Amino acid sequence: MSRFFVFRDGCKSRRKKMEIALQFVLLALGFVMLGKGADWFVEGAAGIAMRFGIPQLVIGLTIVAMGTSAPEAAVSIAAAVKGNADITIGNIVGSNILNILVILGLAASIVPIAVARSTVRIEIPFMIGVTALLFYQGRDGSISLADGGVLMVAFAVYMMYLYTMAMKSNVDSELEEPGLPLGRCLLGAVGGLALIIAGSNVTVGAATSIATYAGLSERFIGLTIVALGTSLPELFTSVAAARRGNADIAIGNIVGSNIFNILFVVGLSALIIDIPFASAFNFDTYVALGAAVLLWLCVLRTKRLQRWAGALMLVCYAAYLGYIL
């Protein structure tokens, strides 16, 4: 009889491991769907916009920028609607921490990164400000509809700033001939959006199952695995730019992504449904705020993110990860 129970327990253990492995496969599939869907959506929507005479400058500041934040937005909104608020907040806060400490840390470790004066004087302080705003809004335990409205107004102000800066820098906004037929653009935009929605559902479902099977909190899963998956585009872009000697692209990419994550993703999510903000996220938001301040201090005097600063950021993330494990 004892052998029977040992055999049954062994079968349960193997079944549980297989279930966890399957959920990780589904999670990876969800990330692929999100990435490919975002690519299709940006290509199709940009093509449609060009067909209607919208300048490339406006397309770049709106459609392309929002498209790169589509994975975070889709996952966060899907998680909020399904009642998995810890994944919503964890994904955003975790992505912002990872973007600075890991992605910029890796890029700077490869080659020092030059930082534009406007990034040091305006954009990084603005990122610090919106991170502090997120903490302030979550102090009462939720991000409400009114909070979402404030974030979206701040997002509109930020978009106007980007447009003004682009115009001052004499960016060529002349239209190019659309390279794709309108029908293909429509198919790409609609198909991409559908793939993003499907991918977000797969990602949230798999992340929730992994947390349940492995005995991990949704907060931890959102802060680490989901955050890493939705930040993969930024990771590949920044590291590749550093290896090609174009590391200055990395700072703008990361700072802009972090601002978008809070203002656009959290703001849009809160307009759809109130998002519970667990007290445990106070610490994580402090870390995100500290990472933003650390970045600013590292580049304030020299306007460069040096290798030692990149190494320090990686050490800080390792310490943070060790703390939340």
- What is the per-residue pLDDT across 224-238, written as a single tens digit (0 to 9) for each? 888 888 777 777 667
Tokens found for residue 188:
């790409």
- What is the per-residue pLDDT across 63-79, written as a single tens digit (0 to 9) for each? 666 666 777 788 888 88
CA distance 144 to 319: 32
Q: What residues pair up with 305 in beta bridges, in sequence order?
A: 113
CB 116 within 8 A of CB 225: no
CA distance 82 to 212: 15
Is the predicted pLDDT of residue 57 greater than 80, yes or no? no
Q: Is 129 helix (H, G, I), strand (E, B) or coil?
A: helix
CA distance 142 to 266: 11
Helices (H) and strands (E) in the chain, counts: 17, 4
- At residue 249, the pLDDT reads 66
Q: What is the pTM of this model?
A: 0.81
Superfamily of domain 2-324: NCX, central ion-binding region (1.20.1420.30)
Whose tokens are 């445990």? That residue is 280
- What is the per-residue pLDDT across 242-297, written as a single tens digit (0 to 9) for each? 666 666 666 877 888 899 899 999 998 899 889 999 999 999 999 999 999 999 99
- What is the per-residue pLDDT across 135-177, written as a single tens digit (0 to 9) for each? 999 999 999 999 999 999 999 999 888 878 777 765 444 444 5
Domain ranges of the chain: 2-324
Is the predicted pLDDT of residue 127 greater than 60, yes or no? yes
